[in-house]
Amino acid sequence: MNLQGQNAIVTGAGRGIGREVALLLAAEGARVWCVDPGLGRGGEETGERPADEVVAEIAAVGGAAHACYDTVSDFARMGDLVDGIMRDHGRIDILVNVAGVLRERMIWNMTEDEFDMVIDIHLKGHWNLCHHAIRHMRKANYGRIVNFASDAFKGSVGQCNYAAAKGGIISLTRSIAKETQRNDITCNVICPAADTRMTLTEAVKANRLRKYEAGLMTREQYERTLIHRGPEYIAPLVGYLATPGAWAISGQNFHVEKGSIHTYYFGEEQRLLVHGEDGMFTLEELSRAVPEALLNGLPPIVPKEAPGSGPAETKSA
Mean pLDDT lowest among 245-249, 256-260, 297-301, 302-306: 302-306
Residue 152 neighbours by CB under 8 Å, 6+ apart: 159, 162, 163, 166
Residues 57 and 154 in one domain: yes
The reply to whether 288 falls in a domain is yes
Closest C-alpha among 176, 179, 152 to residue 165: 152
Residues 82 and 212 in one domain: no
The reply to whether 61 falls in a domain is yes
Residue 315 confidence (pLDDT) above 60: no
The amino acid at 99: A
The reply to whether 309 falls in a domain is no
The reply to whether 177 falls in a domain is yes
The reply to whether 208 falls in a domain is yes
The reply to whether 79 falls in a domain is yes
Task: Name the domain count of the chain.
Answer: 3
Question: Which pTM value belongs to this model?
Answer: 0.86
Residues 159 and 222 in one domain: no
Residues 249 and 148 in one domain: yes
Residues 159-177 have a mean pLDDT of 96
Residues 54 and 185 in one domain: yes
> Residues 270, 299: contact at Cβ < 8 Å?
no
Please give the distance of CA 230 from its chain centroid, rounded to a whole number. 16
Residues identified as active-site: 162
Count other Cβ atoms within 10 Å, centred on residue 79: 16
Burial letters 118-143, b for 16+ CB under 10 A, else e? bbbbbbbbbbbbbebbbebbbeeebb
Residues 127 and 207 in one domain: no
Whole-angstrom Cα Rg for the chain: 22
More confident residue, 116 or 297: 116
Per-residue pLDDT band for 314 (boundaries 50, 70, 90) equals: very low
Tell me which residue range forms the domain holding 105. 7-194+229-264
Residues 108 and 208 in one domain: no
Residues 28 and 113 in one domain: yes
